[in-house]
Amino acid sequence: MIITDFLERNARLNGNEIALVEINPSEARDNAKTWRDLSLIVSASQDAPYRREISWRTFDRRANRFANLLLSRGLKKGTKVAILMMNCLEWLPIYFGILKAGCVAVPMNYRYSSDEIKYCLDLADVEVLVFGPEFVSRMDVIAHEIPEVRMMFYVGNDGPTYTEDCLRLMVYCSTGAPPVALEESDDAAIYFSSGTTGFPKAILHNHRALVQACVTEQNHHSQTRDDVFLCIPPLYHTGAKMHWFGSLLSGSKAVLLRGIKPEWILRAVTEEQCTIVWLLVPWAQDILDAIDDGRVDLSKYRLDQWRLMHVGAQPVPPSLIRRWMKVFPHHQYDTNYGLSESIGPGCVHLGVENVRKVGAIGKPGYGWQAKIVDERGNEVAQGDVGELIVKGNGVMQCYYKNPEASAEVLKDGWLFTGDMARMDEEGFIYLVDRKKDVVISGGENLYPVQIEDHLRGFHKIKDVAVIGMPDARLGEIAVAIVEIKEGETCTEEEINEFCVGMPRYKRPKKIFFDTVPRNPTGKIEKPVLREKYCGGRLVEAQITG
C-alpha cells in the first residue's frame, strides 16, 4: 500500500468531514470570542485569517491538482520538488501532490538562511521549489544563483517576478487522480538532518517507510475518527508529520496551530475539542509555568476531552512529567523516540500503559527492533551503556549522495543512532546522551543529560544545557548553561548547593547564566554553546580525536 492511498480512501469514505484546520492567533485578538467566529468577518484579502479548514475531499482534490500541474510541466518520476513554507493549509496538499506525481518531496527547514537553502537545494538535486511569502527576502538573494532549480512556484499574493503563481495555476488543473503507478520501493521524500554540527545531510526515504510511520503511530496512540490532533511543530520535520500520519490513517481531524503561547495552545484545545496534543519539552514547561504564576486560569478552558499528551524530539526530564501529571491527572502520557533517519518518532516508545517508567524512552516500537551495542557492534550487558541501534521498514535508504556517511550508520539493516543508552531488567531503554556529547573528564564518562535532569529539578531553573569545556588537567570539565525562570533571581552558590546530591565528579565545575538555544524541534543547540563558551573547534577536536 502507498501512503497516498490513505488520503484517497478518506476522500472517498468521509469526503465531507473536516481533515485540516489552520489557526493563526495574534496577541491583539486574544480577547475575541472565538477564532471560528472571527474568521467569518475577516476580509479574505488578509494574509493570515484566523481560521481556515478543508475537508478530506478538498484535500485530495488539491493534491491531485498540484500533481497534475507538475506532470503538465514534464516532471518525471523521481524528480525532486522542495517545499519551503510555514505551516499552513496548503502545505500537506502540496506534499501529497508531489507524492502522487511520483516525485520526491523535499521539505525544508523554515529557519534556513539563504546560503543553507542554496546548499540543500543543490545537495538534494531539487528541480522545482515551492515557497511562501515569508521567504521572499531570502530567495531574492539566491534566485539567480540556482540554475538547477528550473521552476519556482509561489504560494501567496504578488509573488516575485521569477516565480509562478502556484494556486492560480492549480485552478486550471484536473482534480482527477494522476496516472502514475507507485511502488513501495519508490523514492518518496528527502528530509534533512537537524544540522546542529554543520550543514545538514539529506536523508532519503521510500514509500514503504512512510507507510510504516502511519502504521506505527496509529498502533501506539489508537487514533479513531473521533480524535482531533493538535499539530504545533513545523511540518517540514518528520516529528510533526509522522505523528499526523496517525490522523491520516484514522481519517480524523487535525489542527495546525501557528503559535506556541500557552494561552493559544489551551484555547485551540478548547475550541477545536482536541484530544491528542504533541508537545516539545519547552512548550509543556511554559504551560505549567503559566498555570503556576497565574497567567493561565484552567477554569476558563474546556479540556475534559484531552486524553493524550505526548512528548518527543529530545530527552524528557522525568520531573517535568511528574509535574504535568499532578496538574492533568486524567491525561495519558507517552514519549516517542526517533530520528529523521528512522522516519521520525516511534522506533522506540514508552507506551501509555507504562507511565510508571517515566524517564525511559521505552521499548522497540510497533514494527521495530532495537538493541544496545558496544564499539564492535556486540550487545552490551543489561544495565551497561552502549550505542542504541534500530531496525525496521522505517530506516532510511541512505544519506543522499553521501555513501561514506551512509556506511558509517547503516550496517546489515541496522541504523546506528549515535545515541548512548542503557536497558533495565524489564527491557525498557533509557537515553543517556548523544555519543558526540559525552564529556570525558579525568577518564570518567559524564553524560550531560543526566546532569541536566538533576538541575531541572531546581525550582528556579527554566532550562539548562551541559557541555564539555577544555581543561588542562582533566581534559574536559562539565559546565552548565542555566536559564532562570522569569521573575526569579539565582546565584551560582544556590545551584552548587543543589548539586550536592550528585556524585562529586558529576557536578558541573562552572555555571553560566544565559538563554539556552534550541532549534525548531526543541533540541538544544550545543555547538552554538560550545562556540560561545569554549571556542567550538577546540572542543569538537577533543571530543572526536
| Residue 318 confidence class, pLDDT cut points 50, 70, 90 | confident
What mean pLDDT do residues 315-339 have?
88
Strands (E) located in 1-103 = 18-23, 51-55, 80-84
Q: What is the pLDDT of residue 344?
A: 85
- pLDDT tens digits along 226-258: 999 999 988 998 888 899 999 999 999 999 999
Q: What is the pLDDT of residue 539?
A: 33
pLDDT band at 204 (very low <50, low <70, confident <90, very high): very high
| Residue-number span of the structural domain to which 471 is assigned | 438-544
Q: What is the mean pLDDT of the chain?
A: 88
Confidence of residue 471 (pLDDT cuts 50, 70, 90): confident
Question: 210: exposed, middle or buried (C-beta count within 10 Å: 0-12, 13-18, 19+)?
Answer: buried
Label residue 526 by pLDDT band (50, 70, 90): confident
Does 459 map to a domain? yes
Instruction: Indicate whether 389 belongs to any domain.
Output: no
Looking at the chain, the whole-number percentage of residues with pLDDT higher than 70 is 90
- CATH number where 486 lies: 3.30.300.30
The answer to whether position 478 is within a domain reads yes
C-alpha cell, 281: 519539552
**In the predicted structure, residue 291 carries a pLDDT above the cut 50:** yes
Quick check: is 452 in a domain? yes
pLDDT greater than 80 at residue 542: no
**Residue at 495 is within a domain:** yes
Kindly tell me the sign of the dihedral angle through the C-alpha atoms of 433, 439, 443, 446: negative
Please write the tens of the pLDDT for every residue from 31-64. 555 656 554 444 333 444 589 999 999 999 999 9
Q: Is residue 502 over pLDDT 60?
A: yes
**Count of positions (residues) in the chain:** 545
Please give the pLDDT value at position 540: 31
Residue at grid coordinates 504564576: 293
Mean pLDDT of 113-137: 95
500 falls within a domain: yes
The residue-averaged pLDDT of 328-347 equals 91
d(CA 370, CA 389): 6
Contact 466, 502 (CB under 8 A): no
Q: What are the residues whose beta carbons fall under 8 Å from the beta carbon of 76, sequence distance 6 or more?
A: 102
Cα 347 from Cα 389, distance rounded (Å): 10
- pLDDT (tens digit, 9 = 90+) per residue, 401-427? 999 999 999 999 999 998 889 999 999
Task: Evaluate whether residue 211 is within a structural domain.
Answer: no
pLDDT surpassing 60 at residue 301: yes
pLDDT by residue (tens digit) across 163-202?
999 999 999 999 999 999 999 999 999 999 865 445 689 9
Q: How far apart are CA 211 and CA 537, in angstroms?
A: 40
Least confident of 27-31, 33-37, 81-85, 275-279: 27-31
How many domains, the chain? 1
Task: Report whether pLDDT(472) > 60.
Answer: yes
540: enclosing H helix or E strand: helix 537-544
Higher-pLDDT residue of 434 and 417 is: 417
The stretch 515-537 carries a mean pLDDT of 77
* Residue 296 placed within a domain: no
